[in-house]
């Protein structure tokens, strides 16, 4: 598991929002979001629950992606050092790409 993995519960929501600065406020309800480096999907999960966003996540850590796949709409193993991206990403439009 990566060093960024955390469990999301109701008590931690405000802390999690603060961790990501004011980016949470700029994401519209129902937005299509690509979370690059999604880890276990903790931030994307917050966006899904609080803002009804559609969230795709990409990460290089397979263990984290297993957990993220239980929270996010779609997850992909992606090594950004490689030239190719999965079709599920290249044929999808996003309102927000979060790094």
Report which secondary-structure segment, H or E, holds 12. Answer: none
Q: pTM of the predicted model, to two decimals?
A: 0.82
pLDDT number for residue 89: 87
**In terms of DSSP H, where are the helices of 4-99?**
13-19, 23-26, 42-51, 62-68, 87-90
pLDDT number for residue 87: 84
Rounded CA separation 99/91 (Å): 19
Per-residue pLDDT of the chain (99 residues; tens, 9 = 90+): 554 444 556 666 777 766 777 788 899 999 999 999 999 998 999 899 889 999 999 999 999 999 999 999 999 999 989 878 888 888 899 999 998
pLDDT number for residue 18: 66
Q: Which of 33, 37, 46, 20 is nearest to 99 (CA)?
A: 37
């Amino acid at each position: 598991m990566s060093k960024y993995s955390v469990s999301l519960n109701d008590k931690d929501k405000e802390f999690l929002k603060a961790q990501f600065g004011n980016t949470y406020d700029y994401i519209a309800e129902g937005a299509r979001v690509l979370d690059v480096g999604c880890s276990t999907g903790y931030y994307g999960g917050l966006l899904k629950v609080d803002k009804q966003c559609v969230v795709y996540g990409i990460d290089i850590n397979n263990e984290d992606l297993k957990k993220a796949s239980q929270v996010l709409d779609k997850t992909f193993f992606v090594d950004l050092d490689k030239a190719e991206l999965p079709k599920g990403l290249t044929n999808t439009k996003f309102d927000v790409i979060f790094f």
